[in-house]
Amino acid sequence: MSLPRTAREIRARVSARDVSAVEVCRDALDRITRLDARLHAFLHLDEKGALARAADLDRDRPADAPLLGVPVALKDNICKAGMRTTAASRLLEHYVPPYSAGVVERLERAGAVIVGKTNCDEFAMGSSTEHSAFGPTRNPWATDRIPGGSSGGSAVAVAAGMVPLALGSDTGGSIRQPAALCGILGLKPTYGRVSRYGLIAFGSSLDQIGPFARSTADLAALIGTIAGPDARDSTSAADPVPDYGAQLTGDIHGLRVGVPRELLQQGVEPAVMAAFEGALAELAGAGAIVTDVALPHASLAIPVYYLVANAEASSNLARFDGVRYGDRAEASTVHDVYYRTRAHFGAEVKRRIMIGTFVLSAGYYDAYYLKAQKVRALIRQDYDEAFRRVDVVAVPTSPTVAFKLGERTADPLQMYLADVFTAATNLVGLPAISVPCGVSDERLPIGLQLTGRPFDEGTLLRAADVMDRRRPIPSPDVETI
């Protein structure tokens, strides 16, 4: 009998002693080793640690372990004690965190096996994983194309079947966009749903950690594991964590789905638009009520996002000065240590620090940063208004399918537009899911994004599950790459 490859099957069969956690772990490590020379999803693989952990689980059999023996990959901006964590930056090339993130502690309590760290854009700044200091990750559906970003390595690790589950972080679309471009599920939880303790900060009013999976049942198991309050993150919410698995009823009869048509007027590829319309028809076929909804300020999400996120980034990245951790460029004064150490940031990180520093500087703060925060409040009002009439808002996750490596790296503004449909939900703190809804003629995946009310991840999972049941999409043929 073949080894299980979904979290649900792994947990059931490891619990029943039908397979061992060590066998499952070896299977994942073999597959990673075989495929990663081509895909480069991982920056660090901890074979020894993962196998030892799996052996411990086989021996101890912890009770109440919803992810017993399940291999999980972490985006490389999430700290695990003793495991190198670089955020795909030269500045942290040799950094080994002395503590674990809150989500890592929760994964370990749930019986998961953390196999390693995945590639991403440096400090999670990018939409293609090409801004990694350690080279790009490739899309398993077409290896001359980007996997999306910034959590591209985690998306590829799941899409290529290396691991059933992975964590990413999402500041402007960094979970949902790669999930869409790699043909898997990705969820950005409500702001505050998941502790950011131990996440290397980028935009602190926007960042959330969230799950990737190939099935809604697995996605529900992972968000249920990582959600909940943490005293070490003052923004984490005390709201009770529901049983997400119980939400997967298959019934969306009467669910009101709002479509902001005016937002989709320009820049959406025909194949994406066709798959999106097909997805709306599926939801309607399952009993949902699809109506138009207005989000008049959402078209400003990208300019607002790049002002707010970069302002926060310039502040958060001030800590990388070569003094307390990370690599230091030697110099004779501490002043020169700062300048020379920070010269090792990649070009995209420098651009963002520069924009953020500028919009927070004397004389420009009101015109840029304060103005952006006010428009942000208007975007939130639009969503509040929309959710009086509908239960979820539907848009394509990405306006295009996966683009080719190198196609947008010379034009930062073009790269930023990849987030045109995802950034708004971070600005307003709402949960959003990307679910596969088709493939293009060239067999490139397309994602549907559903945004919900605060802490209503359950409804998003239920709707995604209905899509998943009615329109399962194929897996990439990784054996040929």
Partner 1 sequence: MAEILTRADVERIAALARLELTAEEIALFAEQLSAILGYADQVQQVDTSGVPAASPTTPDATVFRDDLPLPCLPRDLALSQAPAADRGAGLFKVPRVLGS
Catalytic residue list: 75, 150, 174
Scanning residues 258 to 287, which ones bind partner 1 (CB under 8 A)?
Answer: none
| Residue (175 or 439) nearer to partner 1, CB | 175
Of 26, 109, 325, 471, the one binding partner 1 (CB under 8 A) is 325
Q: Confirm or reject binding of residue 347 to partner 1 (CB under 8 A).
A: yes
| 3-state secondary structure at position 142 | strand
Of 428, 433, 461, 478, the one binding partner 1 (CB under 8 A) is 428
Among residues 261, 105, 133, the alpha carbon closest in space to that of 197 is found at: 105
Q: Tell me the closest approach of the beta carbon of residue 327 to partner 1, in angstroms.
A: 7
In whole angstroms, how large is the CA radius of gyration of the chain? Answer: 21
Of 5, 26, 90, 351, the one binding partner 1 (CB under 8 A) is 351
CA angle 463, 426, 176 (to 5 degrees): 50
Q: Confirm or reject binding of residue 297 to partner 1 (CB under 8 A).
A: yes
Q: Confirm or reject binding of residue 63 to partner 1 (CB under 8 A).
A: no
Question: Which stretches does DSSP call E strand in 214-313?
Answer: 256-259, 289-292
Identify the H or E element spanning 436: strand 432-439
Q: Beta-carbon neighbour count of residue 169 at 10 Å?
A: 29
Helix 102-109 with 216-226: angle, nearest 10 deg? 120
Of 3, 246, 281, 378, the one binding partner 1 (CB under 8 A) is 378
Binding window for partner 1 (CB under 8 A); candidates: 119-127, 142-150, 361-369, 461-469 = 361-369
Q: Tell me the closest approach of the beta carbon of residue 117 to partner 1, in angstroms.
A: 16
- Partner residues linked to 194 by β-bridges: 227
| Residue (79 or 180) nearer to partner 1, CB | 79
What per-residue string of b and e applies to 270-296 under the rule 16 or more CB within 10 Å gives b? ebbeebbeebbebbeebebebeebebe
| 3-state secondary structure at position 42 | strand
Cβ distance 426 to 206 under 8 Å? yes
Cβ distance 194 to 107 under 8 Å? no
| Residue (99 or 289) nearer to partner 1, CB | 99
Q: Beta-carbon neighbour count of residue 92 at 10 Å?
A: 23
Q: Confirm or reject binding of residue 82 to partner 1 (CB under 8 A).
A: no
Q: Confirm or reject binding of residue 3 to partner 1 (CB under 8 A).
A: no
Among residues 286, 293, 298, 279, the alpha carbon closest in space to that of 447 is found at: 279
Binding window for partner 1 (CB under 8 A); candidates: 30-38, 46-54, 116-124, 302-310 = 302-310
Binding map of partner 1 across residues 224-263, x = CB under 8 A, - = no contact:
-------x--xx-x--------------------------
- Give the contacts of 383 (CB within 8 A, at least 6 positions apart): 295, 393, 424, 428, 430, 451
Separation between Cα atoms, residue 65 and residue 7, nearest integer Å = 12
| Residue (92 or 114) nearer to partner 1, CB | 92
Q: Confirm or reject binding of residue 337 to partner 1 (CB under 8 A).
A: yes
Binding window for partner 1 (CB under 8 A); candidates: 246-254, 271-279, 370-378, 438-446 = 370-378
Number of residues in contact with partner 1 under rule CB under 8 A: 71
| Residue (100 or 440) nearer to partner 1, CB | 100
Question: Which stretches does DSSP call E strand in 34-76?
Answer: 42-45, 71-75
- Give the contacts of 234 (CB within 8 A, at least 6 positions apart): none
Q: Confirm or reject binding of residue 211 to partner 1 (CB under 8 A).
A: no
Of 373, 409, 475, 481, the one binding partner 1 (CB under 8 A) is 373
Q: Tell me the closest approach of the beta carbon of residue 388 to partner 1, in angstroms.
A: 16
Cβ distance 169 to 148 under 8 Å? no
Question: Which stretches does DSSP call E strand in 67-215?
Answer: 71-75, 113-118, 165-170, 185-188, 208-213
Binding window for partner 1 (CB under 8 A); candidates: 71-79, 174-182, 342-350, 460-468 = 342-350
Q: Tell me the closest approach of the beta carbon of residue 416 to partner 1, in angstroms.
A: 8
Of 202, 212, 306, 403, the one binding partner 1 (CB under 8 A) is 306
Scanning residues 90 to 109, which ones bind partner 1 (CB under 8 A)?
Answer: 95-99
Binding window for partner 1 (CB under 8 A); candidates: 29-37, 45-53, 354-362, 401-409 = 354-362
Q: Confirm or reject binding of residue 409 to partner 1 (CB under 8 A).
A: no
Q: Tell me the closest approach of the beta carbon of residue 178 to partner 1, in angstroms.
A: 22
Scanning residues 42 to 61, which ones bind partner 1 (CB under 8 A)?
Answer: none
